[in-house]
Structure 1
Amino acid sequence: MPQAHARFDLSAENAPPGQETTSTEGMVVIPGGTFTMGAREKEFARADEFPNASVQVDSFLMDAHPVTNQQFAAFVEATGYVTTAEVAPDWEEIKQQLPPGTPKPADSLLIPASLVFSAPQKEVSLNNHHSWWKWMAGANWRQPQGPGSSIEGKENFPVVHVSWFDAQAYAQWAGKRLPTEAEWEYAARGGHDEYIYPWGNEPVSPERANYWQGEFPYSNKASDGYEYGAPVASFAPNAFGLYDMAGNVWQWTADWYHAQYYASLKNNPVNKNPKGPEQSYDPLSPNMPQKTIRGGSFLCNDSYCAGYRASARMKSSPDSGMMHLGFRCVKDL
């Protein structure tokens, strides 16, 4: 399959203030084709990465790297947009995602906030993510580690603490859209259908991606040079010229998450440009609609999620914002 590459300028502004842009600057052409969607391996794969299905996608344009702080700041300056994490949560909306009868939390918790990673001091159970995630008041895209932190000097880092709604708003302003799961996975493999990772089948290493080296979540050796996020394009691109398709930050997709979605694709000889399920379903959180996220992050480790595999899927409610979650956009040709 042909490879596509494009140069991009990390310092380029997205558009004049107050105007939408339809620029394709910083995007690469992803040539259409057919691939097998789903996991190749069983060692790290989850049940929702099976069964495999044949999928065809048309050619499209994709951002060479996740949207940066600088790019997102240009959007906010042009539009006055306020992100989800900067607005107090609405209990009437939240309780619809929870089991009936769930008591209302204290008003002190219903404040503008977001989830920030905080490493425990010792080994903890990997089944309890509350051991390392903290709901922190004042954490948002401008203050990614909470009050007192800043993105100054991190203009070329991926923007984080953005909800799915925030990503959608940016994409619309930029004249783009969020990728489907099928587009994202196809692009991650770089035209090599047999690849487990964007770079091939060799295990992850500090030279290939920004991920957690050491014992998750309490001991990070940071052998790749980054304790948390890294500037975009710090590691080699895949065969399509796409950076950060493995590690650094998880990335929102357009699709709803459904644990059995792949089973609905299995019986079709070829699934052309699938748009995901019509509704969300997660047996672990049956009342909470969730969107699929892809790519893994600086917190991924083989002992926990191995999210830097091309087929790896995770999910989050569309109003969520986290310290390791960003996005990139695509555009139809």
Structure 2
Amino acid sequence: MTQQLEVRAADELRLLREASFTMGSAERFPGEQHDPPRIKRVPSFRISPRAVCNDEFAVFVAETGYLTTAERDGWSFVFESMLPPGHPPTEPYPGAPWWRRVPGATWHRPEGPGSTLATRGIHPVVHVSWLDARAYCRWAGGRLPSEVEWEYAARGGLHGARYPWGDELTPGGEHRMNVFQGRFPRHDTGADGFVGTAPVTAFPANGHGLHNMAGNVWEWCVNRFGATRPGKRALRGGSYLCHPSYCRGYRCAARSACTPATSAGNIGFRLAADVARLR
């Protein structure tokens, strides 16, 4: 891998002090899940300023010999347009045919056999299930954040803001996150500078010093989603595939969920910890 981060995520967790904030939103968008606004108290905790990257996950695998869910199952979900020309036919996902079940797709072969992590060492690790994310966090001496912690962190100290930087999607015409521009799902123009994942510190940090709390990759949270999706774990933040035509997951209040064993090319995670925990 040609790019490296100088420190591991566990070495630089940001301390966020105990506070109350308004969680959720009164906004409603068709087909999207979030909770109505209510006051939440969040105890002090620590959270990484960025998602776990490929270089960091590689250290974990080298030290432990860990095999991810995708490696054990033999496949993971890849976005159709990410597949190279001439790729063998793959099975589309019902209701979202742009997702393809690709044999051999894993965290270190993100588009399947023949793909590599060259130039993507500091991009977020993907094709990691909730189970994989939990295993990494335990190894690092931390844990996944709760949804309450995640949303408080994402808001960056702004009260009721739609995005981690405020209410305007592109303030002054400036892109603040990595999402899908163009005609979904056929053509991403890359107007924000990226097609696919971006480096974990590609965009300016929010008021808490945290990068990419909107877009780039969905991030696992520790808790279950709730009664409407029993058995699933919460995801936050949206991804490089979010487009207003079907997904506004990049809003601070937006929620999603998948089963703990799900992996895909747009799902990653970041490390959190109790205040006293260090590795």
Relative to the length of structure 1, the TM-score reads: 0.74
Larger radius of gyration: 1
2:88 corresponding residue in structure 1: none
Q: Deviations over 1:14-36 (max 9, x none)?
A: 4xxxxxxxx84121111221111
Q: Does 1:323 align with 2:251?
A: no
1:65-214 superposed matches below 5 A: 65-88=50-73, 112-119=74-81, 129-204=95-170, 207-214=175-182
Q: Deviations over 1:267-321 (max 9, x none)?
A: xxxxxxxxxxxxxx42xxx6xx210000000000111111110001000010011
Q: Does 1:64 align with 2:49?
A: yes
Instruction: Measure the CA separation in 2 of the matches of 1:119 and 1:153.
Output: 19
Three-state SS of the structure 1 residue aligned to 2:216 is coil
Tell me the matched-pair count: 260
Structure 1 residues 45 and 37 mapped into 2: Cα distance closer, same or farther (>3 Å)?
farther
The partner residue of 1:10 within 5, 12, 28 is 5
Structure 1 residues 139 and 129 mapped into 2: Cα distance closer, same or farther (>3 Å)?
same
Q: Deviations over 1:15-64 (max 9, x none)?
A: xxxxxxxx84121111221111111433x376642332211001111001
Code of the residue aligned with 1:130 in structure 2: it is A
Instruction: Measure the CA separation in 2 of the matches of 1:197 and 1:40.
Output: 14
Instruction: Measure the CA separation in 2 of the matches of 1:24 and 1:138.
Output: 30
Three-state SS of the structure 1 residue aligned to 2:125 is coil
Three-state SS of the structure 1 residue aligned to 2:55 is helix
| Alpha carbons 2:78, 2:264 under 8 Å: kept | yes
| Alpha carbons 1:68, 1:155 under 8 Å: kept | yes
1:248-259 superposed matches below 5 A: 248-258=216-226
Q: Deviations over 1:66-125 (max 9, x none)?
A: 00000000000011101000013xxxxxxxxxxxxxxxxxxxxxxx000000039xxxxx
Tell me the percent identity: 43
Code of the residue aligned with 1:213 in structure 2: it is Q
Instruction: Measure the CA separation in 2 of the matches of 1:47 and 1:76.
Output: 35
Relative to the length of structure 2, the TM-score reads: 0.88
Structure 1 residues 142 and 78 mapped into 2: Cα distance closer, same or farther (>3 Å)?
same
Q: Deviations over 1:217-264 (max 9, x none)?
A: 1121111121110011100110000001000000000010125xxxxx
Code of the residue aligned with 2:119 in structure 1: it is G
Code of the residue aligned with 1:62 in structure 2: it is I
Code of the residue aligned with 2:180 in structure 1: it is W
The partner residue of 1:36 within 22, 29, 39 is 22
| Alpha carbons 1:162, 1:321 under 8 Å: kept | yes
Instruction: Measure the CA separation in 1 of the matches of 2:159 and 2:199.
Output: 28
Instruction: Measure the CA separation in 1 of the matches of 2:10 and 2:240.
Output: 28
- Structure 2 regions of 5+ residues with no counterpart? 83-92
Instruction: Measure the CA separation in 1 of the matches of 2:238 and 2:40.
Output: 22
Q: Deviations over 1:111-140 (max 9, x none)?
A: x000000039xxxxxx96432000000000
Instruction: Measure the CA separation in 2 of the matches of 1:113 and 1:24.
Output: 29
Instruction: Measure the CA separation in 1 of the matches of 2:32 and 2:185.
Output: 23
Q: Which moved more, 1:26-35 or 1:78-87?
A: 26-35
Code of the residue aligned with 2:16 in structure 1: it is I
1:245 corresponding residue in structure 2: 213
Instruction: Measure the CA separation in 2 of the matches of 1:28 and 1:311.
Output: 21
- Structure 1 regions of 5+ residues with no counterpart? 1-8, 15-22, 89-111, 121-126, 260-280
Code of the residue aligned with 1:290 in structure 2: it is K
| Alpha carbons 2:127, 2:263 under 8 Å: kept | yes
Q: Does 1:302 align with 2:244?
A: yes
Structure 1 residues 244 and 11 mapped into 2: Cα distance closer, same or farther (>3 Å)?
same
